[in-house]
Amino acid sequence: ILTINGYTQDSIGSADFYNCEIITLEEPIESPNLYVIGAKKAKGQYLLFLDENYMVLPSLLIQFLQPL
């Protein structure tokens, strides 16, 4: 699930390619509110909250799936 704050067509980028569910908001809201919107739509076992400042490599995702 991808929540986009202050939606523009260009902001979707490659999300369509990866078949993401995209939630767009016309007006910007604070990031914590975006996380809540995404979490309410989530159906999986894991939640990972990121914003545009993160670059996520596959090796990093594997670490998130390991027990604490």
User: Which of the residues in the chain have pLDDT under 50?
Assistant: none
pLDDT at residue number 52: 74
Tokens of 12: 């979707």
CB 26 within 8 A of CB 45: no
Any bridge partners for residue 5, and if so which? 25
Q: Where are the domains of the chain?
A: 2-64
In 1-68, at which residue ranges do the beta strands (DSSP E only) sit? 2-5, 22-25
